[in-house]
Amino acid sequence: MSEILVVAEHRKGAIRDVTYEMITKGRELAEQGDLDLCVAVLGDEVGSVADEIAKRAPDKVLLGEHEALREYTHDGYETALASIIRERTPVVTMVGHTAYGTDFAPSLAAGLGLPLVSDCIDLRLEDGVLVATRQFYQGRVNAEIEVDNSRGSIVTVRPTEFPPASPAEPKAKVESVEVSVGPEAVRTEFLEFRELETAGVDISQAAVLVAVGRGIGEEENLSVAQALADLLGGVLGASRPVTDQGWLPKERQVGQTGKTVKPKLYIALGISGAMQHIMGMKSSDLIIAINKDPKAPIFNYAHYGVVADLFDVVPLWTEKLREKKG
């Protein structure tokens, strides 16, 4: 065993951010264990995806192409990856904790007889032993788990926990590898790919996000937050109580049961900061919180906090922004 293996995630030719985030952490693990960092790209006619990932400085990109992998299926990925892992026996195989990764990683680990740690927020190698950090009790407790990875191990990595790897030189070598995917192995039939209807708004891609919580009071008050978001060139998000009321659609929800976001600026208006919400936004570059409760947990994560009624602060803030913009 001489390498860390990252499983790339891509959809319709677009590389998902979690792939680059895993490359960052994978590089750290490789340096700790004096190992190579390899990225596996599965699919059919996805050489351009492999070439793009090769620019992010792994040691090698493994390109596994097969017509059965043209579209994602859990049994197709599981079968292909099993053949790669048996052949290469990586120390750690990293998979995104996403809809794709959580679909195939458990059965992949079970089929190979390898330990699995899911939803990891940190990883390190100590004297060859993998130490994985994950959370319990809705994020209130961090636990470090020592993994017997004498035969290797599989982990799923929570998105947004690590910065994405930047392009670097030299470009990695792309190596085609044979993957065994017999027709009897793929029992799932891909029918179609449907994009979630988001009315043109994807909060996970927003650079500026203004999120509202219970403190907004009623649906009619959303206009106060929307005016601020518009002036900042941002979009409106919400905590679960707001979407449960139907004041904003579910795709605007931030948190463990909503979307994980990492904007450059996150403004929390009237959000107390339940751990389920914090888990979805704590990696934001800059967090500003406004809440009239000085003991609100959100202030433990905010870079700047204002203890005040949001209806006293936000309209004034909006007015000042309008004046500045002329």
| Domain boundaries defined on the chain | 3-176, 203-325
Choices 3.90.1150.10, 3.40.50.620, 3.30.470.10, 3.40.50.2020: CATH for 3-176? 3.40.50.620
The answer, yes or no, to whether the previous bond of 163 is cis (omega within 30 of 0) is: no
pTM of the complete model: 0.81
Q: Which fold has domain 203-325?
A: Rossmann fold (3.40.50)
* 269, 248 contact by CB (below 8 A): no
Per-residue buried b or exposed e for 218-254, using 16+ beta carbons within 10 Å of the residue's own CB: eeebbebbbbbbebbebbbbbbbbbbeeebbeebbbb
* 63, 201 contact by CB (below 8 A): no
Taking only the tens of pLDDT, the chain with its 326 residues reads: 699 999 999 998 999 999 999 999 999 999 999 999 999 999 999 999 999 999 998 999 999 999 999 999 999 999 999 999 999 999 999 999 999 999 999 999 999 999 999 999 999 999 889 999 998 876 778 999 999 888 999 999 999 889 999 998 888 999 999 998 887 888 888 888 876 665 568 898 899 999 999 999 999 999 999 999 999 999 999 999 999 999 999 999 999 888 889 999 999 999 999 988 998 999 899 999 999 999 999 999 999 999 999 999 999 999 999 998 87
User: Do 203-325 and 3-176 fall under one CATH topology?
Assistant: yes
